[in-house]
Every structure is written in structure tokens, then in C-alpha cells.
Structure 1
Amino acid sequence: MFKPIPVAIGLRYLRAKRRNGFISFISLASILGIALGVTVLITTLSVMSGFQREIRDRMLQMTAHATVSAAGDAMQDWPHAVMVATQDKRVAGAAPYVDSQALLKGARNQPAIVRGVIPAEEKKVSVLADKMKRGSLDSLAPGSFNVVLGQELALWLGVSVGDNVVVMLADERSTPMGAMPSIKRFKVSGIFEAGYNEIDKGLAVVNMSDLQRVLKMGDGVTGVRLKLHDMDQSWNVARDLAENLRGPYRISDWTSENANLYSSLKMEKTVMGILLSLIIAMGAFNLVSSQVMLVTDKQADIAILRTLGLTPRGVMQVFMVQGSLIGIIGTVLGVVGGVLLTINLESILGLIESTFNITLLPADVYYITGLPYDLQGGDVAVIAMIALVMSFLATLYPAWRAARTDPAEALRYE
């Protein structure tokens, strides 16, 4: 098969046994450095993506994908809003809710959000009923004034099922004594664990009619919560619903309500990727060293090629091909190693834990029992491209130096 002369010579240099064994060692170190950098970067970003997905899934199990709420006073015609929402094929479920900031008093005080729901309807938009550790969501019957607390919130308040908590709601009432908060005693009828600290420590759930009575809202609600088949369409669905209702409504979705969290996670992943890319850069610097030493070692060969008619550009291409092949080999090994390591990472961590009798990810600290990962093809492709570009750039200076070799000077003492 026909091959261009620079490619043929570059391949021959790559396969040939070099006179200087140290050059071969540096080239091997370059391949291993690039492969190690690619492997570590793929594995690290996959694990970080897995944690992001785990946080998102745990949070969205308990919160709405999108929300349509009243811009001013309470939403009165919420049954119509629920009906319009459920007619949209993009909506998997819709349910009304009432939210209010409150201070809960038990053995200690703790601010939290008190959410009024209809238990039968709440199951359409969240998995709260499946997250119950003690008691049942169905215990929130109208007029019972029962409350279901997050596990961390219950521990902080020092209460359990059957105990009472005093709820001081932020909605103030005017009295002869001045502005007074709405205060009501609720009985703890259940405890849930969402696996997400902000929810477990900051949410109390009561029956919607009970909260409406305390807040004197009548039949009004704060808004309607939506669960979607495709959460990435949350903003568009909420906007379309608000337009169909033809009223002054405020819309929000999970991306806007948790913008700071996801921005920080994205920034952390980006910074980690940049820092770990330095490992690939170290392999590229080793490639520069090996190529410079190879050029010095091949001075006589370069001079002979020049006298046989190979142009300086051809000489440059010879060493660019040879160096680029080293980068390609390292990148391929790194991609294969990174994918295999990521897929088997949980088994490897399990082996380490059983061998050394340690727990690397305690469930009571991280709320997870395994190591999540999300191996994304886009991330792998970007990492491979970065490694290949760094390897290609690392060949430019040695190849340029080889092209400047003077044949007469190189052959003077041969």
C-alpha cells in the first residue's frame, strides 16, 4: 500500500529499536503520562457528573419540575389550572400546594417551609409517600392538623411520631395587640427521608386545607406544581400553562430555583477538568523532551534524507508523524483505561473497603450507598481531543528544529 514518504519514515522510526535506550524510555514515559492523564480525567469527570445527577434526581423526587403560582394574592381557580395542565401531553402530573415560611418549636427551634398538600394529589408530582420512614402520608387527613417532618428536622426539634410541634407561620395577623404571627399546634404523624439535606431539614408537610384554615386563605392556594415527562422542557411548559390561564401568574422551574447550586457544581467540574488536564500537559512536555533527544540522535539520518532530496518541510512532517503517533497511542490507551476504570470503579472501591476494613463513603454522611458515575460520550470526546491537540502541539518545536538541520554540519564528523 502506498504511503507518503514522511509517514513511512515516521512509522519506521516509531517501530525501530533506537540506539539510545534513554530516548525510548522517555517516549514510553510520554505515552504513559498522556494515558494516565486521560484515564484520570475521564474517571474524575464521570464521577462528578454522577454526583450531579444523583443530587438532581434526589432533589427533583421531592420538588416540582415547574411551578405556576399567583403573582399577588392566592390562586383561587386552581382546579381549572390543574385541568388545563393535565391536558398537556408533556405534563405527567399536576397538584395544588400552599407554601409558607414558618418557625417550628420543639425541644429546639428551627425555621422551615411548611407545605400544604392533598395527599392523593401529591403522589402525582413527588415520591414523598415512598420516602416515609415512619408513619404514612395518608395520615394528613383534613382537620387532623397532623404534620410530616423531614428526618433531620425531626431530630433537630427533638420530636418523634406522636409528639406535638408548635408552628409559627410568617403570615401576620392584625390584632389589638399589634401584628401577631399565626400560631398552631400540629401533631407529628410521620417522618420522611429524602436523602437531600435541604429538604430533610427544611420541609414540613401538612394537609392543604389545614394550612388554608390557619392562614385564612379560603379555597386559595399558592400555586400548582407540575411533574413533566421531560424535565428539560420545564420552563416552556410552565410558560405555556401561564399563557393559557390568561392571568397574572409567576412561573419558575427547577433550573431557576436551584441556579446557584448547579452553577457551583458546573464550575467545580470545569475547574477540576482544567487542573487534571495538567497531567496530560506533563505527558506532552515529556513528548517534547523525547522528540528533541530523538532529533539530536537522528542528525546523521536527517542529513542523508536531505541530501537524497527530502525537503525541510518533509523532515518536519517525519517527526510530526512520529510524535503524533505517540500521542494517539497514549490517548487511545487512556480512553480505554478511563472507560474500564469508570465502569468498574464501584467494584474496585468495594474491594478496597473489604481488604482494609474501611468505609470510603459512609451512607450517613453522603446519603448514598455506592459511588455514582455518569460516563458521558461528550466528555470523553472532549478529553481525547484535548490530549490529541496537546500531543500535536508538542511535536511542532522538535520537528521545526529537525527541519533546520544543516546536512553538511551534521555529516562533518560521520
Structure 2
Amino acid sequence: MVKFSSVPLFIAWRYWRSKSADRFGRVVTWLGSIGIVLGVMALVIVLSVMNGLQQQQKDNVLSTLPHAVIQPLDGNLAADFKLRQPLPPFVQSAVGINNSDVILQSTTGIGAARIIGVTDVADDPALAWDELDLPQLLAPSDYHILIGAAVANELKLQVGDKVRVMLAANSQYTPFGRVPVQRLFTVAAVLHGDSSSDQRQVYANLQDVGRLLRIPPEEVQGVRLLLDDPFKITELPDYFPASEWKIADWREQKGEFFQAVAMEKNMMGLLIGLIIVVAIANIVTSLSLMVLDKQGEIAILQTQGMKKRQVMQIFIFQGLLVGVIGTLLGCGLGLLLAEFINPIIGVFNPGAVALPVLFDGTQLMLIVIATLGLTLLSTLYPAYRAAKIEPADALRYE
């Protein structure tokens, strides 16, 4: 037996458990409860799966992509920039970079690419090709180059071939006129990236690219940053103001993809959230019907000394009982089904791809709080109507 110290809560509990003569009202109440359970359950499952997909894409796509490249607006950086420039605490690694758009010329044709000068490859996960010995392939002054598969196929280049790298941005005067800075490089390896933009990139030793760009050996153009969370790039301007630094980040290449994933998650949450809104509308209907059904009892309670504030509390508590039980039950079922969603799907479709699931505690709390908040708001009007009942009018024909 549940004990109550609050009279309105005790009456609300009795009303919720009792079998009202108005069967339609009971049906509406049960529909509201079931709707909240299904809505919260579906919202928890869908958002957990979408969170897992987003995290999986973040790990797969952004783990080998430099999250940001920072460059000073004027001049270059000192090679020992990490000692001179304090880095944000969320930066995992920072390596120097020299890069430029170049024209590659082979014996069979000409193509465009972006050359990136790198060093300290052990500290740069973006260059973590396990099958390649990068320190040996990109030794200083050897003028070796790693070429993307798209460029290699276009220019019919293989390992060991010579390719002329021409820098159109810089040029030099010769007796034959003004010609672009150029240098012969040897293809050391062909890289197979995950996207066409990756395959248009070529890599060479940082010092070799620096000589091509006429940058002193003790300086670099900028820094490649890897963050502990790629989505923290929005905090970089706080450490590197736009008046002094130029920041290029992963959003230039992959931003549209992650925006599409975020938009899809928001739209799915919105559509499923409408189930909860409809269920809460049923609570308004059921409470309104109960107020009409219980007018006589409300009037009697008021004649026995119950205040209007306590009358309101009866129906507020009753609506919250439906909301709390439905929300907690829906959240629990959602967590349970999301945890075992892959075995459940495997029963109906053994060949289905496994879905990643990631639970976000903050997100779950927001779902619970928002549902309970909407439930509370839905009880205010019926409770107000109940408090407006006058005993004399309600008992006139009794």
C-alpha cells in the first residue's frame, strides 16, 4: 500500500487507479500513456543510433584528416613554433607544414595537385600509413614524392618515375623570360585515399617543399593540428584571432557531410517528438473529461474545506503520474532495445549491417526533462478549469 502525506496526491493516485464510469476517458488516458511510452522509446533508440553513426563517421573520416591548419597572415612560423606559441589544451598534436597548389608534368601529360610538405610523421596520425616507411621514403634532400592514385592514373605514373613539380605562384626570371619555379621529384609511392580530394594530394619532405617555396629551413608556412575532438575547431579562433591567423579546418572538405548527418538527426528527433506531443494532447483531453466527470466530487471536497489550489494539484499530480510513468518506462525500454538492437535486427535480417549505438547522458536527460515539462504544461488548463468549479453550481441538481 502506497502511503501519501499529501491529500491532493492521494486523491490523484486514487483517480488514476480507479475505473471511471467514463470509459472513453479511460481509453484516452491509456492512449496518452502508451503514446508517451512509444514516443520516448523511439526517440531514445533513434537518437542513440544516430549518435553512434555520427561518432563512427567522426572516427573513420576525421581520424586521418588534419583537423585544422593554422597560418599567420604575415610571414612564416619559426620551426620551433611549439615552444614559442602556446597551443590550446585540446590539441593532441601539432606538426609543421609547407603546402601549395602545383602543376605536375610527366612524359604523358599535365595535371593539377596540392603538394604538402610534412615531417615528424610519427606525431601526425594523418600520415599513418602502416605499409609505408615514410621517414625513409621522404628523407630530406632526396626529392621524393608520394602521389595520389587519381593523379598517378591521370599522368600514368608509377613508382620510380620522374615528375616535374611546377609552382605557378612563384616564378623566376631567366634569359628565356619568366618561368615558374620547378623541380624534378621521384615517385616513391602511390597512395589510395578514400575520396577524390585526398587522391589529388601529393606529399614530399617538409624541407624539400620549403626549398621549392623559397622558405628558409628554420621556418614553416603553418601548423597541422589534430584535436582530441574534431568538433572543437569552433574554439580555435579564441586562441588564434582572425586578425593574426588564417585557419583552414576539416569542414572545408567534410563539412557538408556532417551537416547532413546532423540535420537528419534533428529532423528524425523532431518527427518522432511529434508522437510525444500527440500523446500529451491526449492527456489534456483525458483530464478535461475527468474534470467533467468528477464535478460533484470536486464540489463536495471544496465544501469540506479543500482549497482551490489543492483542487488544481489533484489534476496536476494525475497528469504527472501518467507522464512520469510513461517517460520512465519509455526511456527504460528505449535503452534496453537500443542496447540489443543488432541481435533483434539479426533475427529478422541475418545479413543486416551492424548499427553503432552511442548513449548520450545529457541527451537522455533532456528527453526526460522536456517530456515531463510538456506533461506539466498540459495539466495546467484542466486543473485551472477544475479549480473554477463552484460547489453551489455543481451540486444544484444533485
In which range does the TM-score fall when normalised by the shorter chain? 0.7 to 0.9
1:376 maps to 2:377: no
Match of 1:286, SS?
helix
Per-residue deviation, 1:330: 1.1
Per-residue deviation, 1:173: 1.6
Question: Once structures 1 and 2 are overlaid, which stretch shifts more, 9-18 or 99-108?
Answer: 99-108
Deviations 1:342-385 (CA, angstroms, capped at 9, x unpaired): 3333444444441xx4x55xxxxxxxxx5334321111111111
Summarize the alignment of residues 100-115 of structure 1 with structure 2, pairs less than 5 Å apart. 100-102=100-102, 112-115=113-116
Equivalent of 1:250, from 245, 248, 260? 245
Q: How many residues align?
A: 387
Distance in 2, matches of 1:166 and 1:325, equals: 76
The corresponding residue for 1:340 is: 336
Summarize the alignment of residues 118-157 of structure 1 with structure 2, pairs less than 5 Å apart. 118=119, 121-130=120-129, 135-137=132-134, 138-142=136-140, 143-149=142-148, 153=150, 157=154
Distance in 1, matches of 2:347 and 2:222, equals: 49
Deviations 1:296-348 (CA, angstroms, capped at 9, x unpaired): 22233223323333233322221111111101111111221222233333444
Distance in 2, matches of 1:386 and 1:86, equals: 41
Distance in 2, matches of 1:283 and 1:158, equals: 63
Match of 1:62, SS?
coil
Match of 1:309, SS?
coil
Per-residue deviation, 1:73: 3.8
Match of 2:128, SS?
helix
Per-residue deviation, 1:212: 3.1
Is this contact kept in 2: 1:135–1:190, CA < 8 A?
no
1:403 maps to 2:387: yes
Equivalent of 2:40, from 38, 41, 50? 38
The corresponding residue for 1:309 is: 305
Distance in 2, matches of 1:43 and 1:156, equals: 45
Question: Once structures 1 and 2 are overlaid, which stretch shifts more, 104-113 or 277-286?
Answer: 104-113
Question: Once structures 1 and 2 are overlaid, which stretch shifts more, 54-63 or 278-287?
Answer: 54-63
Q: Which amino acid aligns with 2:47?
A: L
TM-score, normalised with respect to structure 2: 0.78
Change (3 A) 1:89 1:377: closer
Is this contact kept in 1: 2:96–2:223, CA < 8 A?
yes
TM-score, normalised with respect to structure 1: 0.75
Q: Which amino acid aligns with 2:125?
A: S
Q: Which amino acid aligns with 2:121?
A: E
> Any stretches of 5+ residues in structure 2 without a counterpart?
none
Deviations 1:67-99 (CA, angstroms, capped at 9, x unpaired): 553433444x41x32555799997654432211
1:26 maps to 2:23: no
Change (3 A) 1:346 1:155: farther
Distance in 1, matches of 2:114 and 2:284, equals: 59
Is this contact kept in 1: 2:166–2:180, CA < 8 A?
no
Change (3 A) 1:103 1:181: same
Question: Once structures 1 and 2 are overlaid, which stretch shifts more, 26-35 or 63-72?
Answer: 63-72
CA RMSD between the two structures: 4.2
Change (3 A) 1:394 1:213: same
Distance in 2, matches of 1:377 and 1:339, equals: 11
Distance in 2, matches of 1:35 and 1:206, equals: 58
